[in-house]
Structure 1
Amino acid sequence: MDKTLHIVGGGMAGSEAAWQAANAGIDVVIHEMRPKVETFAHQTGLLGEMVCSNSFRSDDDEQNAVGLLHWEMRAANGLIMQTAEKHRLPAGGALAVDRDPFAQSVTDALMAHPNISVDYTEITDLPTEGTWIVATGPLTSSALGQAIATETGAEALAFFDAIAPIVYFDSIDMSKAWMQSRYDKGETEEERTAYLNCPMTKDQYEAFIDALAAAEKTEFHEGETAGYFDGCLPIEVMAERGRETLRFGPMKPVGLTNPHAPDDKPYAVVQLRRDNKLGTLYNIVGFQTKMKYGAQAYVFKQIPGLENARFARLGGIHRNTFLNSPTLLDEQMRLRSRPNIRFAGQITGVEGYVESAAMGLLAGRLAAAELNGETLEPPAHTTATGALITHISGGADAKTFQPMNVNFGLFPPVEGLKSGRRGRKDRYKAYTDRAKADWQDWLAG
């Protein structure tokens, strides 16, 4: 039996899957089409490149489900989390990274591993032989996407995903903007000043909403009827839901005090987060957009402090493909019709960098065990990783299946705990304590 594992895609899931399998003694070939075949969102040919954001979200492993997922991946010697720690940027209670050095380090680690090689060619069909993991992410090539759709007997589901613009720091007017994390969150001064804030008066906010509504948008092609993932809505789509929606979303003014006018409470605040270690680039938090480039520059320069902003990258929108996993995948992440093929990452219907990498970690371990002649059961659904795989492999309703971030709603209840807001802190702590114990048991085998 050929004990080589082939992985299609060198993003978060593919990179983590390769790392886990190689560390289990399996020879791994990563098939990555970049840089020979480019995508809309990627800028380099590096493995593990981040394209939508530089944030892994909350790092709180006691009160937040994604923070718990961080903890589980660290405990499993996860490459993505190890590398994120090395290139961490101040972001309050979140884990944000310097994206280019992060991707370079992921690439260097994988290329240096004696059990891993990389083949820079495009895979256009589903292989009939060998052991494979398809981890092509949201930007699966059209040829492979068609092959998947043909094999599954139904069109793969899809939604549209948007990315936020990035601004050069030296083009921001700091006489209007200031540095502060919401509620001064963070243990160090650097963490407490991790975000850059641009305040708006009521009149400025109303004018901004009008400009968003009037801006020229990217139109979908005929037949493209997919919706958006709620966690990555374009800002103008949020604004269409009500003029005050943004003030209760990415532009909420709470927990912040403008040192330029401490007695004036902003009506709305636009936040930017550092995008690289040098602090030369900042991304506009929550400002994913489908506005055309010319309209973006005009609208975003209406934000106080960004009147003369220069953009390192404008926002954009792309098609994001994923499987109806509850009907197509088994609990081992294998395609039911072709069990030599596993799927991992966002294409399985999880959402977010961390969730994608976690599914890669699990797929890599499951495939390695199978190639080593062993049987590895998935982790308990009381763990964050187990809750995700349970959800996508049958826990979700196939008729309404949509991409999902990890959240405590996917976990089985802990008996004997209070419900409601008052008991939430104790409940979440109970979830995480139970998950950590069960995850450690799973790792111990």
Structure 2
Amino acid sequence: MTQTLHIIGAGLAGSEAAWQAAQAGVPVVLHEMRPKVGTFAHRSGDCAEMVCSNSFRSDDDERNAVGLLHWEMRAAGGLIMQTADRHALPAGGALAVDRDAFSGAVTAALRAHPLISFSEEEVIELPQDGHWIVATGPLTSGNLAESIRTVTGAESLAFFDAIAPIVHAETIDMDIAWRQSRYDKGETEEEQKAYINCPMNREEYEAFIDALLAAEKTEFHEGETAGYFDGCLPIEVMAERGRETLRHGPMKPVGLTNPHDPATKSYAVVQLRRDNALGTLYNIVGFQTKMKYGAQTTVFKMIPGLQNASFARLGGIHRNTFLNSPTLLDDQMRLRQRPNLRFAGQVTGVEGYVESAAMGLLAGRMAAAEIKGQTLPPPSYETAMGALVNHITGGAEAKTFQPMNVNFGLFPPLDAARGGRKGRKDRYKGYTDRAKEQFTAWLAAQA
């Protein structure tokens, strides 16, 4: 009789791990404490709930590392990408989804699988026996986090993650704002107008920065320090780095023309991206924040076009815990002290929805192979998945280890035949061509 795989956490990583193992013929018990035990950020008990953004970022699989990761997950029959494709929203060249429909569909697929069952009790300590994957993500419960610290013999590292606010679309003033994707990116007119843009002149921008810097912020508990991940910085932290920082980040005006005043170049632009299929909700792109709720409504209503905005959800901040994986995990994503335990998702030190799900995909396949008496090697680190798992299990410098998105800097250099000395676009195409060949071969070896 085939042994059972237990997975703690039904986020993106845990959901993908469960799907991959069950598809390989291994029985799975998926342990998810929600909704009995809630978290700061989650709103439901659904699997794969997206709590920050609704975007999986670029879907360009020829010249973008995260788009390549999309391609690899699709090639591997990934549930997360299959479901994202079915519930995609117009977002220019990005892959954004209706987050509620997406998580509902993932939940339905997992509950319908004959080899997957659910346990709704909180797991409070790391199990001694059996095959387990810990995929509890950035909001690992206090009891389990303490158990992890005890077993690893070291304090887990931590940084703070911030959540962007969501606006009711009907309250956006379209006499001021307009619809356009940056550089009109997208194959259809709907994609080319996937974003709502709110323009600022210099005076409005300067006043916004002043209010942002002066606003009341969430305070940390005594002894806590904020080590933010650069890809998810609160806007206040960005503004503190220099008054022009936001104009070169989420508020950059390039590639956008205001049809209400086409002769005037905006000094800064705030973008909003559709958050659901109905188009009734939009999130403010890149506006993760640690401002207190009252301050948020005041400051965000200073944005032209949002002066009468109604918010479906305000921003927030939460602690995000992750392992120093280069010192703790082997290349099978197993805890060296307790090899019956694998870790997957953000708790391993990858950053982003897609990266988390990809590590779940690998952990699920590796665990299934082990249960069946086999060893599945990780894919070549010339692939996106291989580059990520190599980074977290030994490729990164342990002393300075921080959460990392997938990027071509994690890949080994190209030789001249692959375009190693060519321009960036050709070089990136060389990375993706090589990765697809290697990943296809890795999948074929498992057939």
**Coarse TM-score class (shorter-chain normalised):** over 0.9
Per the alignment, residue 432 of structure 1 pairs with 432
Per the alignment, residue 260 of structure 2 pairs with 260
| Contact 1:90–1:194, Cα closer than 8 Å, also in 2 | yes
Per the alignment, residue 319 of structure 1 pairs with 319
What is the alpha-carbon distance in structure 1 between the residues aligned to residue 23 and residue 179 of structure 2? 42
One-letter code aligned to 1:191? E
The CA deviation at 1:223 is 1.2
One-letter code aligned to 2:167? V
What is the alpha-carbon distance in structure 2 between the residues aligned to residue 418 and residue 134 of structure 1? 40
One-letter code aligned to 1:386? G
What is the alpha-carbon distance in structure 1 between the residues aligned to residue 27 and residue 342 of structure 2? 17
The CA deviation at 1:418 is 5.9
TM-score in terms of structure 2 length: 0.98
The CA deviation at 1:313 is 0.2
Per the alignment, residue 223 of structure 2 pairs with 223
Per the alignment, residue 43 of structure 2 pairs with 43
Per the alignment, residue 213 of structure 1 pairs with 213
One-letter code aligned to 1:132? W
What is the alpha-carbon distance in structure 2 between the residues aligned to residue 224 and residue 33 of structure 1? 26
Per the alignment, residue 13 of structure 2 pairs with 13
Q: Provide Cα deviations, 1:270-306, integer angstroms capped at 9, x if missing partner.
A: 0000000000000000000000000000000000000
Q: Which runs of structure 2 are paired with 1:97-246 in the superposition (5 Å)? A: 97-246=97-246
| Contact 1:418–1:424, Cα closer than 8 Å, also in 2 | no
What is the alpha-carbon distance in structure 2 between the residues aligned to residue 174 and residue 25 of structure 1? 52
Q: Which runs of structure 2 are paired with 1:276-287 in the superposition (5 Å)? A: 276-287=276-287
The CA deviation at 1:226 is 3.7
Per the alignment, residue 405 of structure 2 pairs with 405
One-letter code aligned to 2:65? A
The CA deviation at 1:2 is 6.0
The CA deviation at 1:32 is 0.1
Per the alignment, residue 371 of structure 1 pairs with 371
| Residue aligned with 1:402, SS | coil
Q: Provide Cα deviations, 1:47-106, integer angstroms capped at 9, x if missing partner.
A: 010000000000000100000000000000000000000000000000000000000000
The CA deviation at 1:419 is 6.0
- 4+ residue segments displaced more than 2 Å: 417-420
What is the alpha-carbon distance in structure 2 between the residues aligned to residue 61 and residue 99 of structure 1? 22
Q: Provide Cα deviations, 1:384-433, integer angstroms capped at 9, x if missing partner.
A: 0000000000000000000000000000011116667x611111111101
RMSD of aligned residue pairs (Cα, Å): 0.9
Q: Provide Cα deviations, 1:233-256, integer angstroms capped at 9, x if missing partner.
A: 000100000001100000000111
Per the alignment, residue 250 of structure 2 pairs with 250
Aligned residues: 444
| Contact 1:184–1:193, Cα closer than 8 Å, also in 2 | yes
One-letter code aligned to 2:239? A
What is the alpha-carbon distance in structure 1 between the residues aligned to residue 65 and residue 301 of structure 2? 36
Per the alignment, residue 299 of structure 1 pairs with 299
Per the alignment, residue 57 of structure 1 pairs with 57
What is the alpha-carbon distance in structure 1 between the residues aligned to residue 393 and residue 2 of structure 2? 27
What is the alpha-carbon distance in structure 1 between the residues aligned to residue 72 and residue 419 of structure 2? 26
Q: Tell me if 1:82 matches 2:59.
A: no
Structure 1 gaps of 5+ residues are: none
TM-score in terms of structure 1 length: 0.99
Q: Tell me if 1:31 matches 2:34.
A: no
What is the alpha-carbon distance in structure 2 between the residues aligned to residue 439 and residue 126 of structure 1? 33
What is the alpha-carbon distance in structure 2 between the residues aligned to residue 44 and residue 4 of structure 1? 27
| Residue aligned with 1:159, SS | strand
The CA deviation at 1:343 is 0.1
Per the alignment, residue 272 of structure 1 pairs with 272
What is the alpha-carbon distance in structure 1 between the residues aligned to residue 284 and residue 233 of structure 2? 14
Q: Percent identity?
A: 77
| Contact 2:2–2:372, Cα closer than 8 Å, also in 1 | no
Per the alignment, residue 387 of structure 2 pairs with 387
The CA deviation at 1:227 is 0.4
Q: Provide Cα deviations, 1:342-366, integer angstroms capped at 9, x if missing partner.
A: 0000000000000000000000000
Per the alignment, residue 444 of structure 2 pairs with 444
What is the alpha-carbon distance in structure 1 between the residues aligned to residue 444 and residue 255 of structure 2? 43
What is the alpha-carbon distance in structure 1 between the residues aligned to residue 52 and residue 257 of structure 2? 29
What is the alpha-carbon distance in structure 1 between the residues aligned to residue 440 and residue 221 of structure 2? 48
What is the alpha-carbon distance in structure 2 between the residues aligned to residue 415 and residue 435 of structure 1? 13
One-letter code aligned to 2:309? A
Per the alignment, residue 333 of structure 1 pairs with 333
| Residue aligned with 1:56, SS | strand
| Residue aligned with 2:385, SS | helix
